[in-house]
Amino acid sequence: MATLKDIAQALDLSVMAVSKALRDASDISAATKARVQEEARRINYVPNQSARNLRSHQSRLFGVVVPNVNNTYYSNLVWGIERQAEVMGYQILLAHSLDQGDCEIAEVRRLLARQVEGVLLVPAVRWQNRFMTLELLRQSGIPVVMLDRYPAGAEQFQQASWVVCRDQYGAELATRHLLELGHREILHLCGPNGSSASAARFGGYRKTMGDSEAGFRDNLVFLAGSDIESGRKAISQAISEKVSFTAVTAFNDLVAVGAADVLQHQGFRIPTDVSLVGFGDGLLAANFRVPLTTIRIPQIELGTAAVRLLEELIRGAAVDPRELPVELVVRYSTARVSPPA
């Protein structure tokens, strides 16, 4: 592999001059720069980032930790992150937490070993110690931006911030939409415990129900999770408990899909018998068996916004967390409540 030294020798220059020429420094003549650049191209010179990094303490590397890229929601975040990072001249190291705290911290440690300049993190929902990762990052002086969710009390970490969507408002929109269609018995299938997004969406549901004539009743709330299977289980439980309902709000599209699956198998028609609202608006929502009414999250923007925040943190600025807007997308899984048979 060619090095600066090779170029320097070929052109009878100092290594320094070559280094500076390639970085377009001001104190190198245009003629020399041209010669150097040509030679560099000729021998296919690729700078050694490890050496550069070691000396300059600039890795131009971001670490990204998501539960799994398998999930479209997270892969959209990663996509947004990578696109924006590339624009700003950074590359990304991708790691998976599997939503487990111990994996998360192990991965962050590995990222730190690579001298990443910042970390983008979808915090694992299950922590043994909620702040361990943030604490480690603080100790290392590495800023972090969380996406999608964040632990309550994260404000105390100066080098941390987060980008989420307006979860509570989104859930309010969803619930209000159902109320306006005449539904009164509306289930809520909660997301995983320990996720601020779950809490916020549940909060939006509870508030809207409480403010309505329907009122909030906690026997209409079921713990699901964030995947299809959890949606199946939750709705099955609701059915087996013989709860009466005409509509369902789900933590996300996958939970909605799982619920829809079971409902249809049990003979409920959607939306004739049961209306259903998802959250997220991934590819699946629009193309599901019955296209889902859902709350649209600007997933890619979540990623790009997070990188922008991270850059500000790196520059030492104090940044406020951001909340991105959401909107209701009405498709075919919701309809006016049908009069009781």
Does 9 bind DNA (CB under 7 A)? Our answer is no
- DSSP 8-state class, residue 126: B
Minimum gap (Å) between residue 159 Cβ and its own copies: 14
Of 146, 145, 108, 104, nearest to 127 by C-alpha is: 104
Does 24 bind DNA (CB under 7 A)? Our answer is no
What does 141 interact with, of its own copies, DNA, none (CB < 5 to 8 A by kind)? its own copies
Of 279, 243, 257, nearest to 164 by C-alpha is: 279
Residue 171 region, left (φ>0) first, then alpha (ψ -120 to 50), else beta? Answer: alpha
Pairing of strands 160-165, 186-190: unpaired
- Identify which of residues 19 and 84 has a Cβ nearer to DNA in the complex: 19
Binding to DNA in span 58-117, by CB under 7 A: 58
- Identify which of residues 24 and 213 has a Cβ nearer to DNA in the complex: 24
Which span sits near DNA by CB under 7 A: 20-28, 130-138, 192-200, 216-224?
20-28
* Residue 306 CB burial class (10 angstroms; 0-12, 13-18, ≥19): buried
- Identify which of residues 32 and 140 has a Cβ nearer to its own copies in the complex: 140
Minimum gap (Å) between residue 7 Cβ and DNA: 8
- DSSP 8-state class, residue 289: S
Does 17 bind DNA (CB under 7 A)? Our answer is yes
CA 82 to chain CA centroid, Å, is 12
Give the H or E element holding residue 295.
strand 294-296
- Identify which of residues 41 and 242 has a Cβ nearer to DNA in the complex: 41
Minimum gap (Å) between residue 22 Cβ and DNA: 7
Does 236 bind DNA (CB under 7 A)? Our answer is no
Does 241 bind DNA (CB under 7 A)? Our answer is no
Does 13 bind DNA (CB under 7 A)? Our answer is yes
Q: Which of 3, 75, 212, 236 binds DNA (CB under 7 A)?
A: 3
Minimum gap (Å) between residue 28 Cβ and DNA: 4
- Identify which of residues 30 and 318 has a Cβ nearer to DNA in the complex: 30
- Give yes or no for a contact between 187 and 238, defined as CB atoms under 8 angstroms apart: yes
Please tell me the distance from the alpha carbon of residue 273 to that of residue 264, in angstroms, as a whole number: 10
Sign of the alpha-carbon torsion through 81, 65, 202, 271: positive
Minimum gap (Å) between residue 139 Cβ and DNA: 15
Please tell me the distance from the alpha carbon of residue 97 to that of residue 325, in angstroms, as a whole number: 27
Point out which residues bind DNA (CB under 7 A): 1, 3-5, 12-17, 19-20, 22-23, 27-32, 47-48, 51-52, 54-56, 58
